[in-house]
Amino acid sequence: MSSFAISHLEFRVRNVAPMEAFYTQALGFIVTDRGEGTDGMVFLSHSADEHHQIVLNPVGDKAGAPDRLDHVAFRVGTLDALRGFHRALEAADAARLETVSHGNTWSIYFLDPEGNRLELFVDTPWHVDQPTRFAIDLTLSDDELAAATEAEIRKRKSFRGIDAWRNEHHKRVAASK
């Protein structure tokens, strides 16, 4: 089985403004992306190497809103490794198994046997502002999956290569210190 490393956590929050203030003011995170509107998702990082380490996903006080922790995400090293995990999760009959792209990743979301939501992902060579999400087919070849993903995200104004985004992000993080 391939190795992987923890990448980020997504919290479901009742009121995003004080949560953003806490993480930025008390802990020194910077906002790297923001969804539209006052109730948009907020992506935070403290690392020059990570787009986000925490996501604040506002759900308000909606009845039946999920628990506070939405998911824990792990980065895998290769697309082949991601496909291997997908096959293993299918064999294990993992609940709510879905494959998506966020433009900057190819991801698998699923539930463990007690209902904890997890994400396994591998980075793509591109960046688009978040949130971005669309279904993908991991049975495609690497070239087919790359072409389909790039065609989808090239439509977005924020599309750029990952190296260009990393250079900008490193400067933002350095300026925040």
pLDDT digits 0-9 by tens, 123-163: 999 999 999 999 999 999 999 999 999 999 999 999 999 99
Split at pLDDT 50, 70, 90, the class of 1 is low
What was the pLDDT predicted at 69? 87
Read off the pTM: 0.85
What was the pLDDT predicted at 3? 80
Mean of pLDDT values over 71-95? 94
Distance CA 85, CA 166 (A): 27
What was the pLDDT predicted at 67? 62
| Percent of the chain predicted with pLDDT > 70 | 95
Of 5, 147, 146, 166, residue with least CA distance to 81: 5
Cβ partners under 8 Å of residue 124, min gap 6:
101, 103, 104, 105, 106, 146, 149, 162
Read off the amino acid at residue 61: D
Tell me the three state secondary structure of residue 109: strand
> 131, 79 in Cβ contact below 8 A?
no
Radius of gyration of the chain (CA): 16
Q: How many CB atoms lie within 10 A of CB 148?
A: 15
Domains and CATH numbers, the chain: 4-176 (3.10.180.10)
What does the longest C-alpha to C-alpha distance in the chain come to? 47
